[in-house]
Structure 1
Amino acid sequence: MKYFAVLLPMKDEEKSKEYRADHLAYLETKAKEGNIFAKGRFSDGSGGLIIYKAESLEEAENMAKQDPYVTSNARDLEVHEWTMTIED
């Protein structure tokens, strides 16, 4: 399993508020399926970050593109494979 950082920069704050519950429900489903490592919003209101777990970039992109924030055009989407390093 690989990790993918998905940035969701804010495009439309009103749409973001409107689709927040749908977005959170979608992430809850993905978490129950074992596809979410971490998630959270940026404290400055500029968007958020989700770390997806997937077998490939294509799989991660497909999941991210189904997020209601993305399908509603409330947020932009940027996906990067992420190699996690933990400091001792």
Structure 2
Amino acid sequence: MKYFAVFLPMKDEEKSKAYREEHLKFLEGLREKDVIIMNGRFTDGAGGLVIYKGEHDEEVEKLVKQDPYVINGARGYEMHEWEMVTNYEI
């Protein structure tokens, strides 16, 4: 299983407000399926971040493109495979 950090930079603040509830329901559905492990907004209003789990970047990108924020032009997206570190060895 791989992890992907998906940045959702703000494109349209009004659309972001209008589609927020749909976006959060979309994320909750994926969280229930154990596809999303965390998400949150940036406090400076620049957008947000979602951490997805998946086998391939194509699989995750397909899901990202179903996000109401992305579909409706409220947010863009930038996706990077992320190597999560859970503990450190010294």
Shorter-normalised TM range: over 0.9
Separation in structure 1 between the aligned mates of residue 9 and residue 79 of structure 2, nearest angstrom: 11
Separation in structure 2 between the aligned mates of residue 40 and residue 24 of structure 1, nearest angstrom: 10
Separation in structure 1 between the aligned mates of residue 7 and residue 56 of structure 2, nearest angstrom: 17
Separation in structure 1 between the aligned mates of residue 23 and residue 86 of structure 2, nearest angstrom: 29
In the TM superposition, what are the counterparts of 1:43-82 in structure 2 within 5 Å?
Answer: 43-82=43-82
What one-letter code is carried by the residue in structure 2 that aligns with 1:82?
W
Separation in structure 1 between the aligned mates of residue 50 and residue 24 of structure 2, nearest angstrom: 11
Q: Secondary structure at the match of 1:85?
A: coil
Residue 3 (structure 1) aligned with residue 8 (structure 2): no
Separation in structure 1 between the aligned mates of residue 46 and residue 87 of structure 2, nearest angstrom: 28
Q: Name 2:22's counterpart in structure 1.
A: 22
TM-score (norm 2): 0.94
Separation in structure 2 between the aligned mates of residue 20 and residue 37 of structure 1, nearest angstrom: 19
In the TM superposition, what are the counterparts of 1:26-45 in structure 2 within 5 Å?
Answer: 26-45=26-45
Identity %: 58
What one-letter code is carried by the residue in structure 1 that aligns with 2:69?
Y
| Structure having the higher Rg | 2
Runs of 4+ in 1 over 3 A off after TM superposition: none
Aligned length in residues: 88
CA apart distance, 1:86? 3.5
Separation in structure 1 between the aligned mates of residue 50 and residue 77 of structure 2, nearest angstrom: 11
Q: Secondary structure at the match of 2:75?
A: coil
Separation in structure 2 between the aligned mates of residue 78 and residue 56 of structure 1, nearest angstrom: 15
